[in-house]
Amino acid sequence: MTFADYKTALVTGASTGMGAAIAALLAKRGLTVHAAARGEERLRELAERTGSISHALDLTDTAAVAAELGGLEIDILVNCAGVSRPGNILSSSEEDLDEIIDVNLRGLLQLTRLILPGMVERDLGHIVNISSIAGVYNFYGHTAYHATKAAVHQISRQLRNDTVGKRIRVTEVCPGRVETEIFGRNLGGSPEAMEEAWNTYYEGYESLTTDDIVNAVDYAIEAPRHVNIGMLEIMPTFQVPGGLTFDRR
């Protein structure tokens, strides 16, 4: 199924970063795009640029999500909303863990539960889940984030089982470091935090950009209708995962 097969799309996390860029791509491709996020002002700016339909809501509020989005007929669902917090399980707060699980995992599952039956009934649809290399590789910190992204990795595979025999495709886009606001938000979200994050994580590095992720989504959706691009792992050329540590006592 190429873009010509689809009419509507729903993108979560659409107010910034990868979500906003993917929403702009889908609108440019001629789809009616529903953009969901918590940032009402940025959604308004996106709507002015792309013609998208704004849905300012919190994905962790399942009742509100069902009321706002449950009745939509969606051909492409892009689960892009996500949060992260610094530190591992030893330094995480109760609130940190709850929000990471609620946004990255529970919100994704509940929204997919609402949208997927319509795709099955119409025998048409494509789900794109934005995960992370943190879901398939181990490295220090962000324990709960790793856990939720590993779950998204498995959900993406399981959805293919759930819909076998239907013309529904599922793609997991699994990026390494992308130039977004996520590190700055982890540091507090102030202009100073954003600058610190840029200097720490991006300055001097050849990181991925949102355009790289958009191109991957474009490729997966534009593939012929008999082709399902199951997983796209994308990292900067100079970034590699892994590494073995053996601590000596």
Question: pLDDT for 209-224, tens place per residue?
Answer: 999 999 999 999 999 9
The structural architecture, per CATH, of the domain 3-232 is 3-Layer(aba) Sandwich (3.40)
- Strand pairing class (125-130; 168-175): parallel
Query: Using one digit for the tens of pLDDT, what is the confidence trace for 25-80?
Result: 999 999 999 999 999 999 999 999 999 999 999 999 999 999 999 999 999 999 99
CB 150 within 8 A of CB 105: no
| pLDDT digits 0-9 by tens, 125-141 | 999 999 999 999 988 88
Active site residue 145: yes
Cα angle, residue 65 at apex, residues 61 and 69 outer, rounded to 5°: 175
Distance CA 203, CA 15 (A): 24
**Dihedral sign for Cα atoms in the order 24, 30, 36, 41:** positive
Q: State mean pLDDT over 92-98.
A: 94
Domain borders along the chain are: 3-232
Asked if 154 contacts 172 with a C-beta cutoff of 8 angstroms, the reply is no
Residue appearing with tokens 């879901």: 135
pTM (2 d.p.) = 0.93
- Residues 6 or more apart in contact with residue 84 via CB below 8 angstroms: 100, 142, 145, 182, 185, 186
Tell me which of 145, 202, 205, 219 is the catalytic residue: 145
Burial label, 234 (beta-carbon count in 10 A; 0-12, 13-18, 19+): middle
